[in-house]
Amino acid sequence: MAEHASAWELLVTGDPTLFAIVRLSLAVSLSAAALSALIGMPLGAGLALVGFPGRSAVVVALNAMMGLPPVVVGLAVYLLLSRSGPLGALGILFTPTAMIIAQTVLIVPIIAALTRQTVEDLWVEYRDELAAMAVGPRGRIVTLLWDARFSLLTALLAGFGRAAAEVGAVMIVGGNIDGFTRTMTTAVALETSKGNLPLALGLGLVLLVIVVGVNAAAWAMRAWSERQIG
């Protein structure tokens, strides 16, 4: 009970260490989600509307990548950014930038796969209308992405939730450096192992609120969009 009381005290008093970790976590995850949307949505829409040899294999691979193990992604990004890696000259290993890259690699397949399915379903519905209007490939992508914006926001929230709750990849490429690359998930793991339960519990509570809030927002957005369509 003392640990619980101390955790609440850290939250209520605005403990600077706790909230610095929360701010960094949100900055990294939001940046990764935004970057993933810029990459994943056009990629998913293109896969939905453009036919090419091997498309089915690409779709299967993309769907499989939705379940990429975070530690494998972290290792791959680490090898790319390490001194002996092809991108080692950038010197961004063990920085928030490396963490954003790792999280982006994790959630691009999620956003792209969900976008592809959503746009493909809409294409079946609007194919004849867009063909009659002589809308080109780029116009089709833009039109269908706009029409699917509420469903795609749900996909974006799902990607952000995956990023915010991830620990393995960011620990590998970020190094869990105090005051620089320590996120909520990595801090919870570290502080629990050190026996600092109040901070671990406080961060765990904040993380739980964020994850539940994201999922609630996704559900509410989907329900609202269904009512609008109906």
Encode pLDDT of 30-51 as tens digits: 999 999 999 999 999 889 888 7
pLDDT at 1 over 60: no
pLDDT at 103 over 90: yes
Q: What is the 3-state secondary structure (H, E, C) of 107-171?
A: HHHHHHHHHHHHHHHHHHHHHHHHHHCCCCHHHHHHHHHHHCHHHHHHHHHHHHHHHHCCCHHHH
pLDDT at 222 over 60: yes
Dist CA 88 CA 207 (whole Å): 32
pLDDT digits (tens, 9 = 90+) for 173-198: 998 888 889 898 888 888 888 888 88
Percent over 70 (pLDDT), the chain: 95
pLDDT at 104 over 70: yes
Helix axes 149-164 and 96-132, enclosed angle (nearest 10): 160
Indicate the residue type of 46. G
- Position 219 scores a pLDDT of 78
Dist CA 227 CA 47 (whole Å): 28
Arithmetic mean of pLDDT, 137-154: 80
Q: What is the DSSP string of 66-104?
A: TT--HHHHHHHHHHHHSTTSTTGGG--TTSHHHHHHHHH
Arithmetic mean of pLDDT, 133-159: 80
What one-character DSSP code corresponds to residue 229? H
Dist CA 42 CA 107 (whole Å): 14
For 2-229, give the CATH class. mainly alpha
Instruction: State the chain's mean pLDDT as an integer.
Output: 85
